[in-house]
Amino acid sequence: MGKRILLFLATNLAIMVVLSLVLSLLGVGSYVGPDGQLQLVPLMVFCLIWGMGGAFLSLQMSRWIAKRALGIHLIDGRSGHAELDRVYETVANLTRQAGLPMPEVGVYDSPEVNAFATGPSKKRSLVAVSTGLLQAMPPQEVEAVLAHEVGHIANGDMVTMTLLQGVINAFVLFFARVAAFAVRMAVPARVAWIAGFATRIVLEISLGILGSLVTAWFSRQREFRADAASAALSSREGMIGALRRLMTTEERIDTAKPALAAMKISGKKAWLSAFSTHPPLAERIAALEAGR
Protein backbone atom coordinates (compact mmCIF):
# COMPACT_ATOMS: atom_id res chain seq x y z
CA MET A 1 0.00 0.00 0.00
CA GLY A 2 2.82 2.43 0.91
CA LYS A 3 4.50 1.83 -2.45
CA ARG A 4 1.27 2.58 -4.34
CA ILE A 5 0.69 5.80 -2.37
CA LEU A 6 4.27 6.91 -3.03
CA LEU A 7 3.88 6.14 -6.74
CA PHE A 8 0.64 8.13 -6.87
CA LEU A 9 2.18 11.15 -5.14
CA ALA A 10 5.37 11.06 -7.23
CA THR A 11 3.42 10.81 -10.49
CA ASN A 12 1.12 13.71 -9.65
CA LEU A 13 4.01 15.84 -8.42
CA ALA A 14 5.88 15.23 -11.68
CA ILE A 15 2.81 16.22 -13.72
CA MET A 16 2.32 19.39 -11.65
CA VAL A 17 5.96 20.40 -12.07
CA VAL A 18 5.90 19.87 -15.85
CA LEU A 19 2.64 21.77 -16.34
CA SER A 20 3.80 24.62 -14.08
CA LEU A 21 6.97 24.97 -16.15
CA VAL A 22 4.97 25.03 -19.38
CA LEU A 23 2.64 27.71 -18.01
CA SER A 24 5.62 29.74 -16.82
CA LEU A 25 7.30 29.54 -20.24
CA LEU A 26 4.07 30.64 -21.95
CA GLY A 27 3.59 33.47 -19.46
CA VAL A 28 0.04 32.50 -18.57
CA GLY A 29 0.50 31.70 -14.91
CA SER A 30 -1.94 34.50 -14.04
CA TYR A 31 -5.23 35.24 -15.77
CA VAL A 32 -6.14 38.39 -13.82
CA GLY A 33 -4.81 41.55 -15.43
CA PRO A 34 -3.11 44.54 -13.73
CA ASP A 35 -6.48 46.31 -13.72
CA GLY A 36 -8.00 43.46 -11.72
CA GLN A 37 -10.12 42.25 -14.62
CA LEU A 38 -10.39 38.64 -15.76
CA GLN A 39 -8.47 37.91 -18.98
CA LEU A 40 -10.36 35.18 -20.80
CA VAL A 41 -7.69 34.17 -23.34
CA PRO A 42 -4.95 33.54 -20.73
CA LEU A 43 -7.58 31.74 -18.62
CA MET A 44 -8.54 29.49 -21.54
CA VAL A 45 -4.88 28.67 -22.19
CA PHE A 46 -4.34 28.00 -18.48
CA CYS A 47 -7.32 25.63 -18.29
CA LEU A 48 -6.47 23.89 -21.55
CA ILE A 49 -2.90 23.19 -20.43
CA TRP A 50 -3.95 21.94 -16.98
CA GLY A 51 -6.94 19.99 -18.28
CA MET A 52 -5.51 18.44 -21.44
CA GLY A 53 -1.90 18.43 -20.27
CA GLY A 54 -2.60 16.44 -17.13
CA ALA A 55 -4.67 13.87 -19.02
CA PHE A 56 -2.07 13.39 -21.76
CA LEU A 57 0.88 13.21 -19.38
CA SER A 58 -0.99 10.51 -17.46
CA LEU A 59 -1.56 8.67 -20.75
CA GLN A 60 2.13 8.91 -21.67
CA MET A 61 3.02 7.43 -18.29
CA SER A 62 0.24 4.82 -18.28
CA ARG A 63 2.38 1.80 -19.16
CA TRP A 64 5.04 2.74 -16.62
CA ILE A 65 2.41 3.34 -13.92
CA ALA A 66 0.59 0.07 -14.64
CA LYS A 67 3.79 -1.98 -14.55
CA ARG A 68 4.80 -0.62 -11.17
CA ALA A 69 1.38 -0.43 -9.58
CA LEU A 70 0.58 -4.06 -10.42
CA GLY A 71 4.08 -5.54 -10.49
CA ILE A 72 3.64 -6.66 -14.10
CA HIS A 73 6.14 -9.21 -15.40
CA LEU A 74 6.76 -8.75 -19.13
CA ILE A 75 6.93 -11.87 -21.28
CA ASP A 76 8.47 -12.40 -24.72
CA GLY A 77 7.30 -15.84 -25.79
CA ARG A 78 10.63 -17.47 -24.97
CA SER A 79 10.21 -18.11 -21.25
CA GLY A 80 9.87 -21.87 -21.58
CA HIS A 81 6.63 -21.63 -19.59
CA ALA A 82 4.02 -23.10 -21.92
CA GLU A 83 1.05 -21.08 -20.66
CA LEU A 84 2.86 -17.73 -20.65
CA ASP A 85 4.41 -18.36 -24.06
CA ARG A 86 0.93 -19.22 -25.37
CA VAL A 87 -0.38 -15.88 -24.09
CA TYR A 88 2.38 -14.06 -25.93
CA GLU A 89 1.84 -15.98 -29.18
CA THR A 90 -1.91 -15.42 -28.94
CA VAL A 91 -1.44 -11.65 -28.64
CA ALA A 92 1.04 -11.76 -31.54
CA ASN A 93 -1.44 -13.61 -33.75
CA LEU A 94 -4.30 -11.29 -32.83
CA THR A 95 -2.33 -8.11 -33.47
CA ARG A 96 -1.15 -9.44 -36.85
CA GLN A 97 -4.75 -10.20 -37.71
CA ALA A 98 -5.79 -6.69 -36.66
CA GLY A 99 -2.88 -5.08 -38.54
CA LEU A 100 -1.35 -3.64 -35.37
CA PRO A 101 2.22 -3.36 -34.08
CA MET A 102 3.13 -5.90 -31.41
CA PRO A 103 2.38 -4.50 -27.93
CA GLU A 104 4.20 -5.32 -24.74
CA VAL A 105 2.66 -8.36 -23.08
CA GLY A 106 2.67 -8.94 -19.35
CA VAL A 107 1.26 -10.96 -16.48
CA TYR A 108 0.51 -9.73 -12.97
CA ASP A 109 0.03 -11.84 -9.87
CA SER A 110 -3.53 -11.38 -8.62
CA PRO A 111 -6.48 -13.64 -7.75
CA GLU A 112 -8.83 -11.38 -9.71
CA VAL A 113 -9.98 -12.70 -13.09
CA ASN A 114 -9.13 -9.71 -15.25
CA ALA A 115 -7.05 -8.24 -18.05
CA PHE A 116 -6.45 -4.77 -19.50
CA ALA A 117 -4.77 -2.79 -22.25
CA THR A 118 -3.14 0.61 -21.89
CA GLY A 119 -0.57 2.82 -23.55
CA PRO A 120 -0.27 6.20 -25.30
CA SER A 121 -0.48 4.85 -28.87
CA LYS A 122 -0.93 1.73 -30.97
CA LYS A 123 2.87 1.48 -31.23
CA ARG A 124 3.41 1.86 -27.47
CA SER A 125 0.71 -0.27 -25.89
CA LEU A 126 0.60 -2.94 -23.22
CA VAL A 127 -1.69 -5.94 -22.81
CA ALA A 128 -1.65 -7.60 -19.38
CA VAL A 129 -3.55 -10.49 -17.83
CA SER A 130 -3.86 -11.63 -14.23
CA THR A 131 -2.70 -15.02 -13.03
CA GLY A 132 -6.25 -15.45 -11.72
CA LEU A 133 -7.62 -15.21 -15.25
CA LEU A 134 -5.13 -17.74 -16.62
CA GLN A 135 -6.08 -20.16 -13.86
CA ALA A 136 -9.84 -19.67 -14.24
CA MET A 137 -10.32 -19.71 -18.02
CA PRO A 138 -9.69 -22.32 -20.71
CA PRO A 139 -7.52 -21.31 -23.73
CA GLN A 140 -10.48 -20.34 -25.96
CA GLU A 141 -11.78 -17.87 -23.39
CA VAL A 142 -8.30 -16.50 -22.66
CA GLU A 143 -7.90 -15.86 -26.39
CA ALA A 144 -11.25 -14.05 -26.50
CA VAL A 145 -10.26 -11.83 -23.56
CA LEU A 146 -6.93 -11.00 -25.22
CA ALA A 147 -8.81 -10.22 -28.44
CA HIS A 148 -11.02 -7.84 -26.45
CA GLU A 149 -7.93 -5.99 -25.22
CA VAL A 150 -6.42 -5.91 -28.72
CA GLY A 151 -9.77 -4.47 -29.81
CA HIS A 152 -9.31 -1.58 -27.37
CA ILE A 153 -5.93 -0.84 -28.96
CA ALA A 154 -7.30 -1.12 -32.51
CA ASN A 155 -10.18 1.23 -31.65
CA GLY A 156 -7.80 3.81 -30.14
CA ASP A 157 -9.85 3.79 -26.95
CA MET A 158 -7.09 4.97 -24.63
CA VAL A 159 -6.36 8.10 -26.70
CA THR A 160 -10.05 8.87 -27.26
CA MET A 161 -10.77 8.50 -23.55
CA THR A 162 -7.89 10.84 -22.76
CA LEU A 163 -9.12 13.47 -25.23
CA LEU A 164 -12.59 13.33 -23.74
CA GLN A 165 -11.29 13.54 -20.18
CA GLY A 166 -8.96 16.41 -21.09
CA VAL A 167 -11.74 18.47 -22.70
CA ILE A 168 -14.02 17.90 -19.72
CA ASN A 169 -11.22 18.86 -17.30
CA ALA A 170 -10.56 22.08 -19.22
CA PHE A 171 -14.24 23.09 -19.27
CA VAL A 172 -14.64 22.35 -15.55
CA LEU A 173 -11.61 24.48 -14.67
CA PHE A 174 -12.71 27.33 -16.96
CA PHE A 175 -16.32 27.65 -15.83
CA ALA A 176 -15.43 27.22 -12.15
CA ARG A 177 -12.88 30.04 -12.31
CA VAL A 178 -15.15 32.37 -14.27
CA ALA A 179 -17.93 31.86 -11.73
CA ALA A 180 -15.51 32.28 -8.81
CA PHE A 181 -14.25 35.58 -10.25
CA ALA A 182 -17.82 36.82 -10.69
CA VAL A 183 -18.62 35.98 -7.07
CA ARG A 184 -15.49 37.78 -5.82
CA MET A 185 -16.55 40.91 -7.70
CA ALA A 186 -20.13 40.74 -6.35
CA VAL A 187 -19.47 40.36 -2.61
CA PRO A 188 -17.85 42.71 -0.06
CA ALA A 189 -14.04 42.82 -0.20
CA ARG A 190 -13.62 41.33 3.29
CA VAL A 191 -15.20 38.02 2.19
CA ALA A 192 -14.30 38.13 -1.51
CA TRP A 193 -11.40 35.69 -1.40
CA ILE A 194 -13.11 33.03 0.69
CA ALA A 195 -16.35 33.34 -1.29
CA GLY A 196 -14.51 32.99 -4.58
CA PHE A 197 -12.45 30.06 -3.32
CA ALA A 198 -15.52 28.25 -1.97
CA THR A 199 -17.37 28.81 -5.25
CA ARG A 200 -14.49 27.42 -7.28
CA ILE A 201 -14.13 24.30 -5.14
CA VAL A 202 -17.88 23.57 -5.11
CA LEU A 203 -18.17 24.01 -8.87
CA GLU A 204 -15.04 21.97 -9.64
CA ILE A 205 -16.45 19.10 -7.59
CA SER A 206 -20.02 19.32 -8.91
CA LEU A 207 -19.04 19.88 -12.55
CA GLY A 208 -16.40 17.16 -12.23
CA ILE A 209 -19.10 14.73 -11.07
CA LEU A 210 -21.28 15.67 -14.05
CA GLY A 211 -18.27 15.23 -16.34
CA SER A 212 -17.63 11.78 -14.91
CA LEU A 213 -21.10 10.76 -16.12
CA VAL A 214 -19.96 11.49 -19.67
CA THR A 215 -16.66 9.62 -19.36
CA ALA A 216 -18.40 6.66 -17.69
CA TRP A 217 -20.95 6.51 -20.53
CA PHE A 218 -18.17 6.52 -23.12
CA SER A 219 -16.26 3.86 -21.19
CA ARG A 220 -19.32 1.60 -21.24
CA GLN A 221 -19.75 2.06 -24.99
CA ARG A 222 -16.13 1.17 -25.68
CA GLU A 223 -16.58 -2.11 -23.81
CA PHE A 224 -19.35 -3.11 -26.22
CA ARG A 225 -17.10 -2.20 -29.17
CA ALA A 226 -14.19 -4.20 -27.76
CA ASP A 227 -16.48 -7.20 -27.20
CA ALA A 228 -17.54 -6.98 -30.85
CA ALA A 229 -13.88 -6.76 -31.89
CA SER A 230 -13.16 -9.91 -29.88
CA ALA A 231 -15.99 -11.73 -31.64
CA ALA A 232 -14.46 -10.74 -34.99
CA LEU A 233 -10.83 -11.46 -34.12
CA SER A 234 -11.37 -14.58 -32.03
CA SER A 235 -14.83 -16.11 -31.63
CA ARG A 236 -18.21 -14.92 -30.45
CA GLU A 237 -18.69 -18.12 -28.44
CA GLY A 238 -15.35 -17.67 -26.69
CA MET A 239 -16.16 -14.07 -25.69
CA ILE A 240 -19.63 -15.03 -24.44
CA GLY A 241 -18.09 -17.87 -22.44
CA ALA A 242 -15.48 -15.53 -20.95
CA LEU A 243 -18.13 -13.00 -19.91
CA ARG A 244 -20.25 -15.73 -18.34
CA ARG A 245 -17.25 -16.91 -16.37
CA LEU A 246 -16.56 -13.35 -15.25
CA MET A 247 -20.09 -13.23 -13.81
CA THR A 248 -19.04 -15.91 -11.33
CA THR A 249 -15.83 -14.15 -10.25
CA GLU A 250 -16.92 -10.49 -9.82
CA GLU A 251 -16.29 -10.64 -6.05
CA ARG A 252 -12.58 -11.17 -6.77
CA ILE A 253 -12.13 -7.89 -8.68
CA ASP A 254 -9.30 -5.80 -7.22
CA THR A 255 -10.59 -2.30 -6.38
CA ALA A 256 -7.39 -1.10 -4.70
CA LYS A 257 -6.19 0.72 -7.83
CA PRO A 258 -9.16 2.77 -9.10
CA ALA A 259 -7.03 4.57 -11.72
CA LEU A 260 -6.65 1.25 -13.57
CA ALA A 261 -10.24 0.07 -13.11
CA ALA A 262 -11.63 1.57 -16.32
CA MET A 263 -9.00 -0.23 -18.41
CA LYS A 264 -9.90 -3.72 -17.21
CA ILE A 265 -12.24 -6.12 -18.98
CA SER A 266 -14.47 -6.34 -15.90
CA GLY A 267 -15.18 -3.80 -13.19
CA LYS A 268 -17.18 -3.35 -10.02
CA LYS A 269 -20.61 -1.77 -10.40
CA ALA A 270 -20.74 1.81 -9.07
CA TRP A 271 -23.29 2.87 -6.46
CA LEU A 272 -25.23 4.39 -9.37
CA SER A 273 -25.13 2.56 -12.69
CA ALA A 274 -24.61 5.86 -14.54
CA PHE A 275 -21.17 6.12 -12.94
CA SER A 276 -20.10 2.56 -13.83
CA THR A 277 -17.21 2.29 -16.27
CA HIS A 278 -18.40 -1.13 -17.47
CA PRO A 279 -21.86 -2.25 -18.61
CA PRO A 280 -23.46 -5.15 -16.73
CA LEU A 281 -22.01 -8.42 -17.96
CA ALA A 282 -25.51 -9.67 -18.78
CA GLU A 283 -26.00 -6.74 -21.19
CA ARG A 284 -22.67 -7.43 -22.88
CA ILE A 285 -23.60 -11.08 -23.34
CA ALA A 286 -27.00 -10.10 -24.76
CA ALA A 287 -25.35 -7.71 -27.24
CA LEU A 288 -23.00 -10.45 -28.47
CA GLU A 289 -25.81 -12.96 -28.75
CA ALA A 290 -27.78 -10.43 -30.81
CA GLY A 291 -24.76 -9.96 -33.10
CA ARG A 292 -24.09 -6.38 -32.05
3-state secondary structure of 124: strand
Whole-structure pTM value = 0.85
Q: What is the pLDDT of residue 42?
A: 84
The Cα–Cα gap between 239 and 246 comes to: 10
The mean pLDDT of 199-223, rounded to a whole number, is: 92
Percent of the chain with pLDDT over 90: 54
pLDDT of 67 strictly over 60: yes
pLDDT at 264: 74
d(CA 198, CA 176): 10
Mean pLDDT of the 60-70 span: 88
Determine the pLDDT at residue 14.
Answer: 62
Residue type, 226: A
User: 40: part of which helix (H) or strand (E)?
Assistant: helix 40-60
Q: Are 120 and 85 in contact (CB under 8 A)?
A: no
Give the list of residues 6+ apart from residue 100 with CB closer than 8 angstroms, or none: 122, 150, 153, 154
Rounded average pLDDT over 38-47: 85
Cα 20 from Cα 90, distance rounded (Å): 43
Domains of the chain, by residue range, sit at 2-289
pLDDT for the residue 9: 54
- Res 1: pLDDT: 45
How far, CA to CA in Å, does 144 sit from each of 79, 210, 233, 240? Answer: 22, 34, 8, 9
Is the pLDDT score of 3 beyond 80?
no
Annotated catalytic residue within 112, 141, 149, 223: 149
149 is catalytic: yes
> If you average pLDDT over residues 130-139, what whole number do you get?
92
pLDDT value for 273: 77
Supply the pLDDT for residue 142. Answer: 95
Distance CA 236, CA 106 (A): 24
